[in-house]
């Protein structure tokens, strides 16, 4: 069986443990990516993965990489010493 490409708002609500109305409100505020299919809404699997922390958006990834570079540049020597212990 093929993996799902989209989830209904009811399915997303069940996965996230919130109401269907709360999911719809997030879609309307553009906090959650969704596409209109006829009279219904569907959330792409990739958007759901991002919300659940399974994947990172490009901006999130750049932010994390910048933070790691900053920590390594400021605390690199200390990190090396801790690694030897």
CATH number of the domain within which 15 lies: 1.10.1660
For 6-49, what is each residue's pLDDT tens digit? 999 999 999 999 999 999 999 999 989 999 999 999 999 888 88
| Contact assessment for residue 38 and residue 48, using Cβ atoms and an 8 Å cutoff | no
State how many domains the chain has.
2
> Do both 49 and 64 map to the same domain?
no
Q: What is the pLDDT of residue 51?
A: 80
> Do both 42 and 11 map to the same domain?
yes
The parent domain of residue 81 ranges over: 56-85
1 vs 79 pLDDT, higher one = 79
Phi, psi of 29 (to 5 degrees): -80, 0
Mean pLDDT of 69-78: 91
pTM: 0.61
> Do both 1 and 37 map to the same domain?
yes
Q: What is the pLDDT of residue 2?
A: 61
> Do both 3 and 37 map to the same domain?
yes
52 vs 71 pLDDT, higher one = 71
> Do both 24 and 39 map to the same domain?
yes
């Amino acid at each position: 069986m093929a993996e799902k490409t989209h989830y209904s708002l009811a399915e997303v609500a069940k996965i996230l443990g919130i109401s269907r109305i709360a999911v719809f409100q997030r879609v309307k505020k553009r906090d959650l990516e969704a596409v209109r299919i006829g009279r219904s809404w569907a959330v792409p699997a990739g958007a759901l993965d991002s919300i659940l922390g399974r994947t990172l958006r490009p901006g999130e990834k750049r932010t994390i990489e910048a933070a790691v570079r900053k920590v390594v540049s400021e605390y690199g020597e200390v990190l090396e010493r801790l690694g030897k212990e």
